[in-house]
């Protein structure tokens, strides 16, 4: 979430770190017993606190919502839906200037290496010479936007006059198997792909409709996966190995998607 006012009062929450903290895949027990209630409370109470602050200082408020609002019911999803409702209530009832972004899968440098997200998982596994773990048959699809595209979308949203919500994501689809193969091409063609049983709640398809963002914000993503992924790989390689680069991990590709 972020707020900024014409009076010079500004407050920004680190979106990258906040998103990483919210990841739940590596700790399923924590997800069931703790994460749901804690995440839901943070989304609701935290949003209320920030909206109250925005009202007091006359600031414009940005709610970074999620593509998960389109998914099945869970504490995290419901917390985000509630946060959107509260944001619109403050906009209509207290005339607080608000903007709402529904953010889809985003990747790039400085992601947490072991946060459990699929792109960071595949990149870290390939660099460490571990099998790339694909859950299910690998035919489920996702779309991936590079971080600079997301930042541009958020800036256009904050600087414009449209409240939203706006989907911010890259509509280009990849199956999980295709993503694993792109990571192979980028890092190590000999990397092994290992299939494991999928979870019951894994959506088969997640692709953003960005037509409103294109029309009203003049925004659409520019960085294809095959251009953005090597930048992320370079960052991960430095953080995993320091200045030492394993000799086998030398292959990159410049083919565009």
Residue 76 among the catalytic residues: yes
Phi and psi for 13 in degrees, rounded to 5?
-100, 135
Query: Which value, in Å, is the radius of gyration of the alpha carbons in the chain?
Result: 19
126 vs 180: CA distance, rounded Å = 9
* Catalytic choice (76, 90, 107, 146): 76
CA–CA distances in Å: residue 202 to residues 71, 80, 198, 232: 10, 19, 7, 25
Question: What amino acid positions are annotated as catalytic residues?
Answer: 76
């Amino acid at each position: 979430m972020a707020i900024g006012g014409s009076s010079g009062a500004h407050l920004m929450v680190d979106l990258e770190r906040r998103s990483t903290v919210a990841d739940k895949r590596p700790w399923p027990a924590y997800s069931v017993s703790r994460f749901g209630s804690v995440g839901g409370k943070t989304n609701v109470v935290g949003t209320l606190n920030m909206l109250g602050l925005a009202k007091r200082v006359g600031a414009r408020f940005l709610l970074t919502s999620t593509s998960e609002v389109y998914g099945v019911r869970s504490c995290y999803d419901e917390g985000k839906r509630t946060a959107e409702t509260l944001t619109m209530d403050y906009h209509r009832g207290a005339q607080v200037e608000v903007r709402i972004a529904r953010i889809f899968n985003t990747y790039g440098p400085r992601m947490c290496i072991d946060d459990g997200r699929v792109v960071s998982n595949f990149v870290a596994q390939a660099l460490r010479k571990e099998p790339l773990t694909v859950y299910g048959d690998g035919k489920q699809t996702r779309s991936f936007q590079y971080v600079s595209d997301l930042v541009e979308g958020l800036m256009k949203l904050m600087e414009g006059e449209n409240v939203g919500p706006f989907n911010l994501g890259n509509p280009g689809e990849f199956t999980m198997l295709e993503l694993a193969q792109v990571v192979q091409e980028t890092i190590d063609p000999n990397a092994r792909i290992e299939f494991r049983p999928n979870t019951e709640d894994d959506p088969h398809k997640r692709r953003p409709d960005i037509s409103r963002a294109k029309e009203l914000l003049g925004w659409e993503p520019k960085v294809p996966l095959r251009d953005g992924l090597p930048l992320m790989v370079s960052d991960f390689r430095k953080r995993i190995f320091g200045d030492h680069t394993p000799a086998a991990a030398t292959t990159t590709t410049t083919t565009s998607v």
